Amino acid sequence: MRILLTASTGLPREKIEEITQALPEVECIIVDDTLEAMRNAMPHTQALIGCPRPFFSKELLELAGNSLRWIHVPGAGCEEFLIPELIESDVVLTNGRVIQGPEVADHALALLLTLTRNIHFVLRGTIGTTIARPSDKMMPRPVELRNKLAIVVGAGGIGMLIAERLHAFGMTVYGVDQECIPMIRSIDRWYVPECLSEVLSLADVVILSVPVTSRTKKMFGAKEFALMKPSAYFVNVCRGAIVDTEALTEALKQGRIKSAGLDVTDPEPLPVDHPLLNMENVVITPHIAGPSDNNRERSAELIRQNIERFVKGFPLINVVNKKLGY
C-alpha cells in the first residue's frame, strides 16, 4: 500500500518507522514540497498526506488515477482541496480539525485580551521609550470579561475550545452553529446561523471560528456590523474570506464596533497602505494562530491512527463532508 507524505507534513521519521514496523504492507514515500516531485510521485498512490495547497489540482487527481482513495489535510481549513473533481469522486478527505484547536483558542483569547486590557495602546506608546502608566485621557478604560456576553460563530471543535476559555473568564457564551451539542457546559445557549441577526445586538464579544464554504463567505458584512453594539469587540481566527473587509473597515472607522482582533484578513496579507493596518482599535497578527509547541505531535498521532485505520478498513477520523465543505 503506497502512502505519499510531503515534507511539509512534518511527520517525524521515528513516527514513520513506527507505522511501517506495525504495518509492513505500508510503503511511506516522502517527497519534497514541489509540484514536479508531486507529479512524479502521484501514480499508483493510494493515500496522499499533506499536499501543499497551491499544488492541489485536477491534474494530480488524474495522475493518481483510480488508485487514490484518501487525502489528508493536516490543517483545519481545506477549501483549496474542494474542487469539483474531488467532491464528485469516492476519495475520502480528512483534515486536522481540533488538532490546532488549543492554540487557535488561545490565540483568540490573546487577541481579545490585548484589546480589552489596552495592551496594544501600551505597546505602541512605549516602543523605544521608558514605560510609564498612560493616563485615562490617552486610552479608554480597560474592560473586564466577567459577566459579559460572547457569541462564538462556528462552535465546532475549535469554537468549543474558545467557549471553554471564555466561560473560564466568567462570560456567558452563546454558540452559533448548524449543530448544537446541549451537553457542552461552556456554551449557555445555542443558535442556528439563520438566527445570528437576532442575537448580535446582545454581544459584547463576537469571535469567528467557521470554515470557509459557499454559505459562510462574507457572512459578516455591513448588515451584521450595524447590528452589533458600538462597544463590541470582534475577533476573527478562521479565514479572512468570512468577513467583508471593506464593511469591517467602515464599521471600525465609524465607531459601529469598538475594536477588532484579526489573525486572518482578505486579502492576506493586506496591502501596505490598507487602513486597517494603521487603526488604533485594530490588532492584526499574520495568520499565526495555528502553530504551537505541541500541535505537530498531535498531528503526527492523528496521521498514524488514520493510516492504521485506512489499512485495516476502519472509518477514518475527521472525515470532511465534501459537499458541505467541513
In the block, residue with C-alpha cell 466568567: 170
User: Is 239 a known active-site residue?
Assistant: yes
DSSP label at residue 133: P
Alpha carbons 33 and 175: distance in angstroms, whole number: 38
Decide the pairing of beta strands 172-176 and 149-153: parallel
Q: Is residue 187 within 8 Å of 173, Cβ to Cβ?
A: yes
Of these residues, 69, 167, 274, 287, which one is catalytic?
287
Q: How many helices (H) and strands (E) does the chain have?
A: 11, 12
Per annotation, catalytic residue among 268, 274, 304, 308? 268
Residue 301 annotated among the catalytic residues of the structure: no
DSSP, residue by residue, 213-229: -TTTTT-BSHHHHHHS-
In the residue annotation, 268 being an active-site residue is answered as: yes
Calpha distance 311→313 (Å, rounded): 6
Residue with cell 453594539: 229
**Is the distance from CB of 43 to CB of 66 less than 8 angstroms?**
no
> Considering only CA atoms, which of 25, 33, 22 is closest in space to residue 3?
25
- Beta strands of 127-213 (E only): which ranges? 149-153, 172-176, 189-191, 205-208
Catalytic residues: 239, 268, 287
